Structure 1
Amino acid sequence: MRPGDTDSSESIKDKGLRKDAVHIHPWISPLANKWALILGFAGLALIFLTGALLKPTRVGDGSEYYALYYAIKVGHHPFMTEPAYVAYDKLVASGTLRDAVATQTMRDAFPPLIQKSGADYNHFWFYPALAVVAGGWLSLFGAGAHLAFIFLHALLFGALIYVSARAYGRIGAFAAAVVTIGSPMIWFVDKVHTEFLTYCCVAIAAVVFSRRSYFVAALMLAIASTQNISIGATSVFLLAIAAWKVRKEPIKFSNVVLAVTTLALIALHPLYFFTRIGVIDPQLLAGGSLHRIEYR
């Protein structure tokens, strides 16, 4: 063999003539990490700036999430205590949040969930906890709870764009942006509500699942299940698929970590409420319709 020559197997590999080779159009071939990051940061900036410029407005159960944000950041508990009520009352009094629910209404909401240690709400605290972790630092610059949630939404959208670009290139990133911006989901971008979290997590799960990253897909659905426990069943199903696919391979530490984290997240919501109030979901004890609680 002459210098510089390669064997036949290497030549076949280089020419893309392997048996399992797939010819993909350049626009939908995976992007390099650098360009995917650039698109991801662009998506993050777009959502954050858009959300920051719009007037904060409470919709639906949003006041529960604002209050639980302060429960975690100020009260250092996942349930409402006096410091959290005081912080929430300052938000209401500031007038910066349109249609904010009165503090006294929040104190009296869901009587079966009120205990001596503090009060829980009908919705879980994981979404507000993510906002504290992702955007709580913005308080150093005078920003309040709303911008912390907006920054979380921006991170989620940026992650969706990044993952889509890594998986399917420019077309993937474009498709993710169009589906988000061109659908009713865009309305939730600046709203403190769990819909945008659920959407981004499920969308990321779909993208990575299509690329056979089953453990990561299960993890993303597990995150979504913290606010909607029914999604946990699908996450467990994906985890079973992941385990089946690698059953003949050596055990990887990363897969073990992903699997354990997934199961922990799925169990978090029901275990928390079971230890606090004796049921796996507060709706079973203090459903809003049962107690005729309305946020006006």
Structure 2
Amino acid sequence: MSSTRWPSLADQYALAHLVYGDGGHRVVDDWLSEQTARVDDPEFAAEFREVRLPGISPGEFAHRLVGSSRGDLLGGIRFRGRDIGRPFVEVVAHDFEDLGDLRDCVRSEWAAFAPRALRLYAAPGRLTGAGVVTDLTVHAGRCRDMAAPDGRVELTRFDVGDEAVRLVARAYGRLATTDPALRRNIFAADAEAVTAWCAAGRAHAVRAGGRTVGLLAVAPGRVNWLEGDEILEEVIEPEYAGRRYAASAQTCWARLVGDRDRLLLGTIDRLNTASRHTALRAGRPAVLEAVFVALGDGEEGRRVP
């Protein structure tokens, strides 16, 4: 399977070529094979075992390869923010020429879940129109190409797991008060994960003026097929917010910790304006965009998860 089979992946193949050169096509093909292998896969469906929905059998959570007279698609059910009341369908790839026909197919195939929207990945800003809303942006920059460190912060290994856990909890606690809509979409890393990052040397204290002002955790990872070093968590203590320490920390990491030839990457929720500005200042532009396409009609029907 390739871009000739699934024209909806053209933007991703083009990006892969920019990032990986002639080997980019193979990178996307391998990822697509992984997604296709999830069709009717009970092991993948089992990842949703905690989701209990009336009339839904476990196998229905696996990916599906759907054919129709208007086009074919590969996709599966998802839940926004881990909330079973916010279902949507991830369309991994499709060959529909008309977005309306794609909507109709998804709405019919996954009717039992009553999804509010389907989600597609494309180049930033390419998919627009009524009922189309950004879900998240994927930001990536090769370490050697990112902005130079400004010297305002330093990074030290966060050895004390309990302190790191408390720092993350404080930041998300403040977010619940200042921006509850964003807090509904994103989640703090749990204590076990934060402690493990500290033990593995993946968590760094962001230091400024002799004080710890935040935490930055980075580890090898990938977003879809895009591989690099992924920002797992970045938080700034509430009293130090707004001073651009987050961007300073990312550029410091890229220059002094990261591999200059690897990407520093991550996803940013559509409501997280501050993090988007941080990424751009640090030299991590948006390279892909995931958009929701509402499946309903009228104003109410255009609400997305």
Question: Same-fold call, TM > 0.5?
Answer: no
Higher fraction of strand: 2
Identify the structure with the greater helix proportion.
Answer: 1
- Relative to the length of structure 2, the TM-score reads 0.28
Please identify the structure whose Cα radius of gyration is greater: 1
